[in-house]
């Protein structure tokens, strides 16, 4: 354990939180993707930050860019108080400094390159590069130990997914010692894991680097007309200079663990609903790995005599008089008498009027669904009024006015 402590003290996390999140629009109209509310009381970035905290990584830079006010508020109020600067524990949000380039971040690697002075100041032995928009529970300390043991210049967290979904990711091929022998970024025809034709091993976008190897790769890449992207450019470059290892994201029985890149509205919706299963594949109630967030002083949720609640997450301050089935409710949601909410994600302060029906929908903060109104029951009408995802989920943006 003492060794692990030393490794962690000499590690620093950089959380990429600057993506525009266009595919999550309109949820990202007023906020960056990591700040999108998730799972009732959380923001998406809480999962990555909780992983850092639970793993013992207490030096965290969050690299922001677009529409960061909401995220900064959340981090300032929810996460600053957890860290102890006197013990050299901290979390800093860093907007683009425009020191090395007079431009926005051109890719994931450019975001780190443009902040190379942060690494220069800290000089950590290892840098853990993380995404602020993934939902998973992972012990980065175990990954760092694996990284030290193998002596690799970089270690990539890898999870196996169905081969027909692998085209959206970087696909890894490893030798028996988990060293990566080849890498295809978003291939049209992903190669399966040998002996398992239905599964492929993919890059989770969770990296552990030797700082010097990372910096060298970044400064070299910065001179070239590349996409300045970890998957496209930095990993292939590192593969040419030394060993890059995969760290499998599996349970003790070698089954793949839950990891979701919240890249699309449908992924966001499904990951919320995943929390509702009887035996959830992603367990928020695991006391060994608490997920923390900014908690508000609110009264408990209350349900009326005739309220019906099945398979639901209900945040504090909710007032329920109607029926809620298979849904995720953030704090201070009101569901009026006779209203029916099914398979929906309702964010803070949403009001469902009496007798209204809401089905397969994401309703952003403070939207009021008028009494008797219907959402998610008439595809044609919904499409004329709202964004509808590829999977048919209706999305009502923050502040929308409904008749």
Partner 1 sequence: MSKILVIEDEKNLRQLYKQDLELDGHTVVTAKSAEEGLRKVETEAPDLVVLDIRMPGMDGLEAMGRILDQHPSVPVLLNTAYSSYQDSFLSWGADAYVIKSSDTGQLRREVEELLSGKRVGARRRPGGQPQAQS
Nearer to partner 1, 20 or 106 (CB): 106
| Helix extents (H) in 16-107 | 45-55, 69-74
**Contact partners, residue 165, CB within 8 Å, separation at least 6:** none
Which of the stretches 36-44, 153-161, 215-223, 382-390 binds partner 1 when contact is defined by CB under 8 A? 215-223
Report which secondary-structure segment, H or E, holds 226.
Answer: none
CB of 117 to partner 1, least distance (A): 7
Q: Which of 117, 196, 310, 385 binds partner 1 (CB under 8 A)?
A: 117
Which is nearest to 347 in space by CA: 42, 21, 12? 42
CB of 17 to partner 1, least distance (A): 22
Q: Which of 76, 99, 196, 310 binds partner 1 (CB under 8 A)?
A: 99
CB of 115 to partner 1, least distance (A): 11
**Is residue 104 within the footprint of partner 1 (CB under 8 A)?**
no
Q: Which of 222, 267, 309, 358 binds partner 1 (CB under 8 A)?
A: 222
Which of the stretches 115-123, 149-157, 278-286, 290-298 binds partner 1 when contact is defined by CB under 8 A? 115-123
Q: Is the dihedral of CA 220, 226, 232, 236 positive or negative?
A: negative
CB of 59 to partner 1, least distance (A): 17
Distance CA 357, CA 275 (A): 22
Per the document, the length of the chain is 403
Q: Which of 3, 177, 223, 279 binds partner 1 (CB under 8 A)?
A: 223
CB of 103 to partner 1, least distance (A): 8
| Helix extents (H) in 198-292 | 211-222, 235-241, 265-274
Q: Which of 76, 212, 310, 385 binds partner 1 (CB under 8 A)?
A: 212
Compute how many residues bind partner 1; rule: CB under 8 A.
18
**Is residue 193 within the footprint of partner 1 (CB under 8 A)?**
no
Find the binding residues for partner 1 in span 119-178 (CB under 8 A).
119-120
**Per-residue tokens: 97:** 């400094």
CB of 99 to partner 1, least distance (A): 7
**Contact partners, residue 279, CB within 8 Å, separation at least 6:** none
**Is residue 219 within the footprint of partner 1 (CB under 8 A)?**
yes
**Is residue 242 within the footprint of partner 1 (CB under 8 A)?**
no
Q: Are strands 302-303 and 244-248 parallel, antiparallel or unpaired?
A: unpaired
**Is residue 240 within the footprint of partner 1 (CB under 8 A)?**
no
- CB-based contact 316:298 (threshold 8 Å): yes
φ and ψ at 154, to 5 degrees? -150, 150
DSSP 338: T
**Is residue 100 within the footprint of partner 1 (CB under 8 A)?**
yes
**Is residue 308 within the footprint of partner 1 (CB under 8 A)?**
no
**Is residue 102 within the footprint of partner 1 (CB under 8 A)?**
yes
φ and ψ at 281, to 5 degrees? -70, -20
**Contact partners, residue 349, CB within 8 Å, separation at least 6:** 330, 331, 332, 333, 365, 366
Nearer to partner 1, 228 or 232 (CB): 228
Beta bridge partners of 179: 245
**Is residue 239 within the footprint of partner 1 (CB under 8 A)?**
no
**Is residue 346 within the footprint of partner 1 (CB under 8 A)?**
no
- CB-based contact 190:165 (threshold 8 Å): no
Q: Footprint of partner 1 on this chain (CB under 8 A)?
A: 99-103, 116-117, 119-120, 212, 215-216, 219-220, 222-225
């Amino acid at each position: 354990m003492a060794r692990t402590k030393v490794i962690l003290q000499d590690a620093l996390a950089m959380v990429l939180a600057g993506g525009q999140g266009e595919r999550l629009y309109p949820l990202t109209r007023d906020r960056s993707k990591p700040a999108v509310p998730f799972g009732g009381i959380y923001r998406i970035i809480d999962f990555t930050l909780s992983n850092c905290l639970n793993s013992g990584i207490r030096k965290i830079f969050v690299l922001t860019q677009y529409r960061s006010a909401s995220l900064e508020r959340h981090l300032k109020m929810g996460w600053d108080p957890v860290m102890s600067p006197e013990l050299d524990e901290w979390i800093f949000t860093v907007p683009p400094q425009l020191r090395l380039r007079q431009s926005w971040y051109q890719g994931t690697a450019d975001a780190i390159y443009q902040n190379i002075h942060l690494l220069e100041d800290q000089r950590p032995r290892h840098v853990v590069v993380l995404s602020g928009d993934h939902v998973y529970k992972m012990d980065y300390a175990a990954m760092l130990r694996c990284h030290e043991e193998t002596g690799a210049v970089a270690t990539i967290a890898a999870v196996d997914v169905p081969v027909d979904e692998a085209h959206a990711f970087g696909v890894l091929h490893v030798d028996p010692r988990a060293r990566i022998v080849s890498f295809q970024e978003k291939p049209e025809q992903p190669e399966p894991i040998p002996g398992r034709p239905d599964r492929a091993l993919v890059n989770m976008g969770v990296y552990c680097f030797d700082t010097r190897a990372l910096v060298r790769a970044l400064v070299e890449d910065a001179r070239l007309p590349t996409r300045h992207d970890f998957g496209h450019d930095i990993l292939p470059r590192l593969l040419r200079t030394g060993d890059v290892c995969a760290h499998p994201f599996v349970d003790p029985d070698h089954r793949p663990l839950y990891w979701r890149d919240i890249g699309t509205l449908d992924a966001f919706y499904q990951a919320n609903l995943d929390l509702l299963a009887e035996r959830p594949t992603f367990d928020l109630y695991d006391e060994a790995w608490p997920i923390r967030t900014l908690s508000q002083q609110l009264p408990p949720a209350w349900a009326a005599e005739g309220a019906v609640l099945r398979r639901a997450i209900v945040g504090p301050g909710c007032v329920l008089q109607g029926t809620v089935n298979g849904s995720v409710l953030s704090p201070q949601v009101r569901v009026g008498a006779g209203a029916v909410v099914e398979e929906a994600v309702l964010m803070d302060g949403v009001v469902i009027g009496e007798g209204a029906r809401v089905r397969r929908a994401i309703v952003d903060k403070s939207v009021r669904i008028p009494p008797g109104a219907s959402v998610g029951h008439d595809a044609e009408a919904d499409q004329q009024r709202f964004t509808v995802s590829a999977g048919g989920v209706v999305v009502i943006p923050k502040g929308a006015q409904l008749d």
